[in-house]
Each structure stands twice: as structure tokens, then as C-alpha cells.
Chain A
Amino acid sequence: MSRSNYRRGLLAGIPIALGYFAVGLTFGIYAQSTGFTPLQATLTSLSNLSSTGQLAGVNIISRLGGYVELATAILIINMRYLLMSFSLVTKIDPKLSTAKRMLISFAITDEIYAVSSQEKGILDERFFFGLMTLPILGWTSGTLIGSSLGPVLPPLIASAFGIAIYCMFIAIIVPPARNNFKLLLIILASITLNLLFLKLPLLKNLASGWRLTIVAVIAAGAAAIIWPKEAVDE
């Protein structure tokens, strides 16, 4: 029983792992282009397991931003994990040990959360451990290969990988926003605010982590005040 749940998780993790390998590759190339060694880039991926947060973090570190700026930006960007954790905690066995809860927490990412939240009934921790195994491997090995190969890539390939991570961001936010006026407006508002912050005197001196944080809190906060979530029956 335990074996089969772990194996079922492993299988469910294969498509996520393939995607993470590709994104890990582009993160590795980006990290080495800002001055990270392959060891440092791989360590970042192994200890963080979060694409958007890592990209912003590496960017802030390489621009010599302060640690408070770094921590605040990462916390805001990863605020959604708080929500996912809140939601998953209601699906696991209430008697699950602290150690196992801490292990599950480590692998709460957008994709792993999306798959595990679809489990019927109580979420078996062995399924979750199976599910997280290959994506962690894919993400870390992709980063190692990307950061090692980055310097020897021809300019044309490097240019293409430079845009890859942004294309993935577009692929994450555009499809859900297509038929959702609220999300579309939030995206446009956030971009407009971001441009204002980049161009206006004084504001343009703001470090990138603070800028992202403030822009996101204003855009998402205003939207949450205008459109709170509809109450859903338990």
C-alpha cells in the first residue's frame, strides 16, 4: 500500500520534472550570467525550489541589494505558498508528525500543489513524497547543467535562453487571464505601476526588490478590496 502510493506519486511527478528540468536549465544560465558559480546556482535551486523567487533573488543579490530587501521581496513573491500550505494542511492526516509536515512543506510549489490538491479524500504523505522526488531532481540537475554550460553557449543560443524564463512567465499568467477580466486588469495595472516606478523621479532609484514588492501589493491589494473571493461552501 505504502509502496504503491509512493510509486503513484513518482509517476505523477514525471511531467512536472521534465518542465522543471527545462526551467532549471534557463535559471542556471541566468544565474551564471549574473556571476553565480555552478555550485552556488545549484545550491540555490536545491535549497529554494521556487522559480520566480529564485530569479528575483539572484537578480537582487547580483545588484548588491540589501538582505532585508532580499528577504522582503522573496516573502512577497512567495506569499502564495502560504495560501497553498493553508489549503494542503486541511487535506493531510491531522496526526501527521512534525518532521513529515516539514518535509511536505519544502516541496510546496505551484505545480506540485496543483497536482496534490486534486487527490480525493485525505492526501497520503507517501504519495506527496513520491510526487516531489523527480521534480526536485529535475530542477536541481537542470540548474547544474545550465549554469555549467552557460559560458560556452554561442551568443545566439544564450540570447534565446535569455528570453525563455520570461516566456514561461507569460505562459503562466496569460491563459488564466484570457477569460478573466479581473486578472487581466491586475496584470495591466501591475505593469503600468511598474513602468511608473521605473520612470518617475525619486521612485526610479528604488531597488528592484522593493519596487516589485510595492507594485504587487498595491495591484493585488486594490483588486482584493474591490473583488474579494466569493464565499464557497465547505
Chain B
Amino acid sequence: MQEAGLIQLSSKGLYCAEGDFFIDPWYPAGKAIITHGHSDHARIGQSAYLAHPTTCSVMKHRLGEVNTQALNYEQELMINGVGVTLFPAGHIPGSAQVRIRKGKETWVVSGDYKCHADGLSEPYVPVTCNHFISECTFGLPVFHWQPQGEVLASINQWWQQNAVQGLQSVIFAYALGKAQRILNGLDPSIGKIFGHGAVIAMNQTLHAAGVNLAACQAINQASKEDLKGAIIIAPPAASGTPWLNKFEPYRTAFASGWMAMRGSRRWQAADRGFVLSDHADWKELNHAVESSGAENIYLTHGYKAAFAKYLQSKGKRAFELDTLFEGESLNHSSEKELEANV
């Protein structure tokens, strides 16, 4: 990273010395701007949190009573003479790219993002800058997302087929973001829709923050009769646990960008894998880099070595950064620890 730039990578995370704040720090660090509510970005132990109002609500739900300050999209806040503005990242409700500028120097920290609208999150907007710090969870050309409508239609079709055969459907998706995206895409004429406790609690939080959500009942209120042909949305950590026994007979599905690969589908040991990601695919990543107009690209997590090399081959100045962000995870053992507090 450039010497004496507005943003530096410290051992605790991305740091702006002039403004004296961190962005998504992974250890207790001080004042923090948070891009979104996922647990590898919004971590416990900061003295103050600045984020979009929806993210503030999510943090209060996940982290307890923390000191938050809300900032709406596209309103510049001056911190120690540094201008801070949040722009929609399209990742999950409340997710933001953080623009930081002073003088002629403009930085954008993407957090996690996707460029296509999902009907739930505030749609991504490109932000021009000199320095673009981007994720690249799916930074290889094998990743190409089908239009969301097609994926949701195949989820509904799968649910319908199961219901006809007298089977319950259990779909695993992150409790924050993916679960609601699927919920809003389900066809309620097929059957009843239930949520795992973690999903229901998150729905309430988001609903209170003003996010529009379709109806979803708590699973613990379901009778045996209610469950017939129903679909249950559950966090990935619930897969392979005895919690599922009460849904017998059932089929399982997993919704994630990783499901684009047969190897990962087989690893999950779910009956079906739907390719649905809240991250940018290859084309979107390239689009974002291009439309930022940045001279310098820094890559934080994902296939950053390959993506950096590719950008360099296209004549860009691209660098890898060593961060502790995880993006969309395939490995549930680490996720289980994080979800345990929810």
C-alpha cells in the first residue's frame, strides 16, 4: 500500500491516521466505521461504531449494547478533517462502501458487495476514486451468476416438487441477507414458510429497521400439520444437526456462490445446491474496478493473487492486502463459533 496514504493497513485492520478511525477492524481498536453487519466485518470490542442505520440495528442485535452512530447513504460526515461518506454496496440491507477523502485523495473501501440488484438491499452504486480497496471472494472467471429470477424460480420449483412428494424442504442460507433474499423470492402459494430462530430474530431486527420482508413464521410455533410440504429457512450451522429430525421426511438445499462448483456441492452433502451469492462474480468485479476509475486497486479477500495478476496483465496497478475478512465461507466450523452468540 502506498506510503503515507490516507489509509494504511495496520495489524488491527484498515486505518485512517488523519481521521483516527478504523474500517472493519478485526481486533478491538478504537473508533470504527463498519461496512456491514456480517461477523467478520462487525466485530466486538470497538469504542465507537459508525455505520448505516440498518447496520447499527444489526450490530445492536448481534453484539449487544454497543456505542453506535448512524450515517445515511451519500451524506458526507467530516471526521478530523477527513470526509466520510457511505454508498450502497448491494451486499445485504444496510451494507455500504466507505468513501474517504481529503484534498485530492479519494479512497473507497468496498466491504463486501455485488453489482446486481437483489430487490432487498439498496442497489450498489459505482463510486469514483483514486484508490479502490475491493474484496474478490469470487475473483476467478469460472464464477458467473445466473439472473436472480432464474435461481429463485428453480428454488420454488424444487420446493414444489418436494411438496408434491410429501417432503419438507430445508434450505440453508446465512441468517443475515441471504435468508431474507430467499424469503422474499419464495412463492407462498406453494406452502407455508418457516424460519429457524436465528433467521426469525434477524427478520425482526431488519423489519424494525424498515426492511420490507415477506411473512415467515417461527418454526417453534409449527405443528406437525403445519409442516406438511413447508419450506424451512435455516442457517448453515444447522445442517447435520438433530434439530432437523422433526422435519422428516425432508430434502435439503444450500444457497451459496460456492455451489457453482460441483466439488463444493458434494462437500456440503445437501440434496441440492443453488448458486446464489451476495458477492460480485468475475464480471461484476471487473465492472466495479473499471467504473471506480481508480489508479490503484487493493484486494482484501478471495482469490486476490490471481485477480491482482489478472488486473496487472490489463495494465492496472493492483496489490494484495493481508486481511482477516472471510467473505462467503464454505467452512462451517468457524461459522458455528461466530453464530453461537446469536
State yes or no: do A and B come from one complex.
no
Q: Which A residues lie at the B interface, using CB under 8 A?
A: none
Q: Which B residues lie at the A interface, using CB under 8 A?
A: none
